[in-house]
Amino acid sequence: MRIFSIVIAALLCASGDTKSNPIRAEIEIRGEDSLTYDVDCWAMLCKGKPTVMQKVNQNTARKHRQIKTGSGAKNQPFANRVKYGIKASPATSAWAAHRKWSSAEEFPFASTADGGKNAILVGVTENSQEEQKTSLRTFYHSNRIWAYNETTNSSERSWFEITGFKTRAGTTAKVGPYCKAFNARDSKVCSASTKVVGAWGFDVAEYAYVYNHQKKKFEYVGK
């Protein structure tokens, strides 16, 4: 009888309401956001960052970007590399119209409960970040993923799982090397001896940092 009750309860629990029953969906890559998502794929596939996350509201997301208690992405460490002790930027490339790798991509996303403190940061172009904002917003909207309601403590449709990455129809976008490996669940790319260079011209894993709140500094993660 107890097992039957558990099964019924699980069936009544709508997709997205719990961590164990998330909304499962792929993210569509639009173009230059293939760079930002390759950072995320590496973080999930090789650094144990979660594929199942809970969306949070905008106020919480803003706090996650701050340096006081969050990732420090708001301080834009890659635009101020000398100040923050960040190693030299990789060379610009024609792929990104020679724009600088100055904007901080962070994963887990600041828009999730796992975002903020201990998030992995890599310098990318501002354009790739803007494209990611659009594609991530579309991902949330098309899959009806809602933010956790702090007022009512409602988790309704707030949990989701990233199952893979694909290109948006009608674009010339391409899935990056770490996201291809993520789709195939191929962890061979995680080896420190394996160089994984995307169309942008560098291995994102070689330029990753995390803000250490105790030491109050950005620390190199690397492969």
Q: Is residue 141 assigned to a domain?
A: yes
In the 8-state DSSP scheme, what is residue 121? E
Tell me how many domains the chain contains. 1
Whole-structure pTM over 0.85, yes or no?
yes
Closest CA to 81 of 64, 103, 108: 103
Whole domain around residue 172: which residue ranges?
Answer: 21-220
Contact by Cβ (8 Å): 202, 125 = no
Q: Is residue 10 assigned to a domain?
A: no
Is the previous residue joined to 90 through a cis bond, with omega within 30 degrees of 0? no
Contact by Cβ (8 Å): 133, 32 = no
Q: Is residue 4 assigned to a domain?
A: no
Q: Is residue 12 assigned to a domain?
A: no
pLDDT tens for the chain, 223 residues: list them.
Answer: 444 444 444 444 579 999 999 999 999 999 999 999 999 999 999 999 999 999 999 999 999 999 999 999 999 999 999 999 999 999 999 999 999 999 999 999 999 999 999 999 999 999 999 999 999 999 999 999 999 999 999 999 999 999 999 999 999 999 999 999 999 999 999 999 999 999 999 999 999 999 999 999 999 998 8
Q: Is residue 13 assigned to a domain?
A: no
Q: Is residue 5 assigned to a domain?
A: no
Q: Is residue 212 assigned to a domain?
A: yes
Torsion, Cα 150 105 185 20, to 10 degrees, reads 0
